[in-house]
Amino acid sequence: MRQMTARRLRLYRRVVLIGTLTGIAYGVLIGLVFNLPVFIHGLVGAIDATLIAASVSATEIFVLPSRWGRPLQRAPFLVMFGVKWLVYAAIITTVVVGGPGAHLAGMPTSATPLQNPLVRLGLLFSAVATFAFLFVFELQQIVGGRNLRNVVLGRYHRPRVEERFFLFVDIVGSTSLAERLGPISVHRFLGGVFRVASEPISDHGGEIYQYVGDEMVVTWPAAEAREEARPIACFFAIATALEEASADFVREFGVAPRLRAALHAGPVIAGEIGETKRDIVFHGDVMNTAARLEGATRDLERGFLASADAVSRLARTERYALELLGPQTLRGRAAPIDVYAVEALAG
């Protein structure tokens, strides 16, 4: 099973489980408040909530990210939001009014269910719960799951020192492409590259820190990066995904994307900044060195460079071809650092 599919299935199971537990809690609460059989209403709530959660989350997690859902994802936000809510409202109404939970639990049903205040209450609760899920899900897509969690929990309210890996990934030839195609087409080209790259990054536990022109910066806490040499594996997974999509890029833009990258690790200061727009930022020499190292890929004519500091912190690097290039003096740095050229092993 592909990592992307496995990750989506894990997320899908978690969302459905949360939906089921929410339905049980709602059903039990209804039973207690209205002096009705608690077990029966808990069972009804579980069945109905499971069906709603399974349908809505399957649409969000599997359908919308696919080629069939991509046109809707690219539509203006209000159009996308409106279409999604029409679909989800139909799902919620069908389940709550149809009462599959009540039928399976052997409860009597009415020919005019909307006249039942409990059915109307169930519709309202289901709509609010689904809206809350979608709000958090969309917010997570915008700011990143870890970023959202850290801002909500106040993890970086005060600056702290962290050991982190930073992978700088640059798209080769975007400047000449801009001259040939124009800025709008290049924007679409970069957007396509970043979209394809997002799945491998998520699969390898990375977090997109920022986009800078034709470059993206991916980061990992040191402890999470060590396993399976995740930053290195991530870069080659991105390259593979882009190679698989190369025909689409050639057909639309006349060129397939190529990448350069640099990896470095070490201590950074992490903290929350901003008032009207909050963000979590990283400061330190590690960031500057990684950027300089990415620039050195041009001088050394290598596609992927990693500092010795980064390589020494990773496990299972024997799966890659590591060529020690020796101490390299990077622009803006007085002291040289040991650098490896990294390549994937054949086969």
Same domain, 165 and 272: yes
What burial class does residue 23 get, using C-beta atoms within 10 Å of its C-beta: 0-12 exposed, 13-18 middle, 19+ buried?
Answer: buried
Rounded Cα gap, residues 308 and 283, in angstroms: 21
Residues 165, 135 share a domain = no
Burial class (CB in 10 A: 0-12, 13-18, 19+), 77: exposed
Question: Is the same domain home to 79 and 171?
Answer: no
Domain membership of residue 257 as a residue range: 158-344
Q: Give every CB contact of residue 102 below 8 A, 6+ residues apart in sequence.
A: 44, 108, 109
β-strand 207-212 against 215-221: which pairing, if any? antiparallel
Tell me, yes or no, whether 237 and 127 share the same domain: no
Number of domains in the chain: 2
The rounded distance, in Å, linking the Cα atoms of 278 and 152 is 11
Report pLDDT digits (tens) over 314-340: 999 999 999 999 999 898 787 899 999
Residues 162 and 227 in one domain: yes
**Gap between the Cα atoms of 246 and 248, Å rounded:** 5
Helices (H), 245-284: 246-253
Q: Are 314 and 179 within one domain?
A: yes
SS3 340: strand
- Residue 258 scores a pLDDT above 80: yes
Are 257 and 332 in the same domain?
A: yes
pLDDT digits (tens, 9 = 90+) for 264-301: 999 999 998 887 777 789 999 999 999 999 999 999 99
Query: Is the residue at 150 inside a domain?
Result: no
Is residue 82 in a domain?
yes
Q: Is residue 148 part of a domain?
A: no
Which tens digit of pLDDT belongs to each residue from 105-137? 888 877 778 888 999 999 999 999 988 888 888
Determine if residue 165 is left, alpha or beta; phi over 0 gives left, psi from -120 to 50 gives alpha, anything else beta. beta
Last residue of a domain, one of 143, 177, 199: 143
Answer with the residue of higher pLDDT: 156 or 311.
Answer: 311
Residues 331 and 235 both lie in one domain: yes
**29: number of Cβ within 10 Å:** 15
> In sequence order, what are the residues at sequence separation of 6 or more whose Cβ sits closer than 8 angstroms to the Cβ of residue 216?
168, 169, 194, 197, 208, 210
